[in-house]
Chains A and B, each alone.
Chain A
Amino acid sequence: MALQTAPDSVQCFHCGEDCGSGVIHAHAKEFCCSGCKMVYEILNETGLCDYYSISRNPGINRKELARPDKFAFLDDEKIMKQLVSFRDENQTHICFYFPQIHCSSCLWLLENLGRIDVHIISCKVNFERKEADIIFDHSKISLRKVAELVTSIGYEPYISFQNLNKPKTTISRAKIYKLGVAGFCFANIMLLSFPEYLGIDAKEAQLLFVFRSLSLLLSLPVFFYAASEFYLSAWKSLRHGFLNIDAPIVLSVLITFTRSLYEIVSGNGAGYLDSMSGIVFFMLVGRVLQDKTYAALNFERDYTSYFPVAVTRLVARKEEIVKLDDIKLNDTLLIHNQELIPADGILTSGTALIDYSFVNGESYPVKKEMGEIVYAGGKHLSSNIEILVIKEVAQSYLTKLWNRQELKEDKKNQQHSFVHLLSRYFTWIVLGIAVCAALYWYQFASAKVWDAVTSILIIACPCGLLLSNTFTNGNILRRLARNSFYLRNAQVIEDIAAVDYIVFDKTGTLTTGRFDNIEYEGMPLDAKMRSEISVLAKQSTHPLCQSIGKWTGSPNNFKIAAYKEVAGEGIEGIVDEDLISLGSGRYVAGKTGTEDVSAVYVSIEGNVMGRFIFKNQYRNRLPELINELKGNYGMAVLSGDNPGEKYALAKLIGNNAEILFNQGPKDKLDAIKKMQKEKYVVMMIGDGLNDAGALRQANVGISIVENNNNFTPASDAILNAAMLPKLSRFIQLCRFNKKIVVTAFIISALYNIIGLYFAVQGSLQPVIAAILMPCSSISILMITFGLSNIKAKTLGI
């Protein structure tokens, strides 16, 4: 296939990333790293190169390889049993989650796993859930081998502690069945009612009886099965002493059914069974649309999904794999490079370089010496260390924060949608009309009381309100999802509309979390010096060194000698006979004291040349967003980082905004609480575990992801970082939601009034109900979809 080659950038054949300076030429193709090349070789050997012809550069970048024995824990019988979904003498079924799945090539390759290893019997991908069900012959290949095989071709399964303990979620198909049944019965009852409406000959009484009985028979599944959804919800809310919108609807359905039953059995009329089943059907359609879930996203993630499933414990200097639960006090754990620290502990061997950005939002890794305490949640970035556990996993600082009682209470339990309130008013008005009509008829023609009252209750069902609500919500959720803004459920739309205070996290939310914005200060560097520095910097895996390596440009083929890395301090080496060191002020220039900016010093042959200053890289188009938000919302920034960016932030967000630095996870949570005490409705936007508490506490918590495969802490909504500038418009659309619902409801209420006109007279013909019901539903459909789509278009979403 054709490669798109710009003059100075070469795309990796495998993953499509810019190869930069380290192009690897092999098999007449270009690769960005040996990992990508290796995957190509595996696929080439097994004749699976179609992978590359289905989508362009489909591969997953392999620059960061998994640790060789990362999946050793899968050999553990106990862990394996919890993971596999089925097992008999010959085969094992396992369901892996692959967050990397993104294109048709992925699907094709994974489903052809059997061609790489014949012992894999089959593999079936579920694209929506990003999962693959793999069936393999466990007498020939172990689960660990399977995991390593898929990892070797770039699909590293994500196995978390969370899915060990939780039972597998089964998809609820009940609603779909109900929808099908209701639709079937509705259509048939409607057909059977036509003769009645069109005026059937009185001589054909027997035929009429058949039609009516059949309608009654068909309405039974609707009444007892399809509508059970609404009975349950109404009953639940009544038990909590709350009248939700389903209660009057259930009342209306009950009355319609009993009256129709009475009419048909007594032979007085045909009843309103067609209207009843029609309403149930449309309401179910609305519910199904609104409850559309994003199977691949997880809004409930807690700390356990970040932690490894198992860790290496040292017992009498022997390594063994233990599950996270089984870690006890005073155990010695071996932590490998790139591994997360699972429990608070004391460093007993090695020098640790720990990236706490996840826990407290500090952008740069910190160094820990022997004897210092390391906290759970940090990611270890250098060679292996050993820690002595001083607190069990569940007692660690981070997990304790998560287990706080107030965060456990599910705020989603309180339903406070304005729709329920509106339906309550509506119900009282209807009941009032019913009482008036009853009194009137009692005086003049007491035989008509029953007729009038039941007709009023039948016609005045607030289903129009429910329909307009569910259809609008459903459509807006879909519109937002198309812009990579995924809401947990429909209630979040209303929560967003109520927000008047917006709080941002800094690292990873306002800034990109990359270190591309570098300024050099000091004596000028010539081209040779630059390449020398570049060669040296590229030796280290430290993120700052990596960016310096990129900034200083193309390395020559200089040989490097006497390379030395002092963890957390710096690196040095002799490049082309010049001794170069890069590192902290203390390491390179002998400076003491802490600095207010993040900087790396450089010296050549002992002469300090200058320093590289790292500035936070703010996301694109942020100022426009802030401008749009400024007048309407209070704003604040809660940063776990040092105040080095204070000036830049104040300039960006305005002087009135509250900007707090050095905020730990608990500080952030408390800050949100304080704002809520001041009667603000707070929206929190963050990305890391350190924001998790605040995200839960806030009225609306939005987590930011760089791409949709990333993991996010529990939240109400997930927003793709690239779409952050549109936030203000998203909020506007959510606010418009209420207007649409009310408009559609008023229109449907007009139909109700026409119906009421007949009902109070006690002369509601089934045919009138049968005309009004679909008219009202269809107008609601058109209004909700029309208005929300027009609004979304004008907003450019």
Chain B
Amino acid sequence: MSAIILLLIASISVASLFLLGFIWCVKSGQYDDEESPPIRMLFDNKKPDER
């Protein structure tokens, strides 16, 4: 029985971590602009001196 309670506490804390992660994502503005990041990641990061 105590095992179940232990597991319960563990599972809920893990889930809470994900909830915190989600809130953190929203707070940092990840969902404000859903279009530019997918475009941005396709650019090569050439430094001007390399050319």
A interface, CB within 8 angstroms of B: 46-47, 50, 54, 104, 107-108, 111, 115, 125-129, 171, 173, 176-177, 180-181, 184, 187-188, 192, 204, 206-207, 210, 214
Contacts and interface: CB of A to CB of B under 8 A. Distances in A.
20 contacts: A50-B46, A107-B36, A107-B40, A111-B40, A125-B36, A126-B32, A126-B36, A127-B33, A127-B36, A128-B32, A129-B33, A171-B32, A177-B26, A180-B22, A184-B15, A184-B19, A187-B15, A204-B1, A210-B5, A210-B8
Nearest to B16: A184
Contacts of A50: 44, 46
Contacts of A125: 36
Query: What is the predominant secondary structure among interface residues of chain A facing chain B?
Result: helix
A188 B43 contact: no
Interface of B: 1, 4-5, 8, 12, 15-16, 18-19, 22-23, 26-27, 31-36, 39-40, 42-44, 46, 48, 51
B8 A107 contact: no
Contacts of A129: 33
Contacts of B27: 173
B49 to A, nearest CB: 9
Contact of A176 (B26, B46, B48): B26
A127 B48 contact: no
B8 A214 contact: yes
Contacts of A214: 8, 12
B31 A176 contact: yes
Contacts, number: 58
Given A47-B48, A50-B46, A128 B35 contact: yes
Nearest to B21: A180
B19 A180 contact: yes
Given A107-B39, A171-B32, A180-B19, A188 B12 contact: yes
Given A115-B48, A126-B32, A126-B33, A177 B40 contact: no
B27 to A, nearest CB: 7
A125 B23 CA distance: 23
Contacts of A192: 8
A47 B51 contact: yes
B29 to A, nearest CB: 8
A236 to B, nearest CB: 26
Given A171-B32, A173-B26, 18 more contacts: A47-B51, A50-B46, A54-B43, A107-B40, A111-B40, A126-B36, A127-B36, A127-B39, A128-B32, A128-B35, A128-B36, A173-B27, A176-B26, A184-B18, A192-B8, A207-B5, A214-B8, A214-B12
Contacts of B33: 126-129
- Closest CB pairs A-B (n = 5): A127-B36, A127-B35, A184-B19, A104-B39, A126-B33
Nearest to A296: B35
Contacts of B15: 184, 187-188
Given A127-B33, A204-B1, A214-B8, A104 B19 contact: no
A129 B29 CA distance: 13
Nearest to A54: B43
A192 B5 CA distance: 11
A54 B48 CA distance: 17
Contacts of A127: 33, 35-36, 39
Nearest to A104: B39
B47 to A, nearest CB: 9
A119 to B, nearest CB: 15
A762 B33 CA distance: 50
Nearest to A118: B48
A125 B43 CA distance: 14
A96 to B, nearest CB: 15
A104 B26 contact: no
A193 B15 CA distance: 17
A104 B42 contact: yes
A513 B48 CA distance: 45
A181 B26 CA distance: 12
Most buried by B among A180, A206, A207, A214: A180
Q: Tell me which of A46, A50, A127, A171 has the highest count of chain B C-beta atoms within 10 A of its own C-beta.
A: A127
Nearest to A176: B26
A702 B39 CA distance: 32
Nearest to A106: B39
Nearest to A129: B33
Contact of B4 (A104, A108, A126, A207): A207
Contacts of A207: 1, 4-5
Nearest to A206: B1
Contacts of B36: 107, 125-128
Contacts of A54: 43
B45 to A, nearest CB: 10
**Central interface residue in B4, B33, B44, B51, by most chain A CB within 10 Å:** B33
B36 to A, nearest CB: 4
B4 A180 contact: no
A19 to B, nearest CB: 29
Nearest to A203: B1
A126 B35 CA distance: 8
Contacts of A171: 32
A104 B38 CA distance: 10
A93 B31 CA distance: 22
A108 B43 contact: yes
B31 to A, nearest CB: 7
B48 to A, nearest CB: 5
A54 B40 CA distance: 11
A177 B35 contact: no
Contacts of A115: 48
A194 B26 CA distance: 31
Q: Could you say which of B15, B22, B27, B36 has the most chain A C-beta atoms within 10 Å of its C-beta?
A: B36
Nearest to A221: B19
B24 to A, nearest CB: 11
A177 B51 CA distance: 45
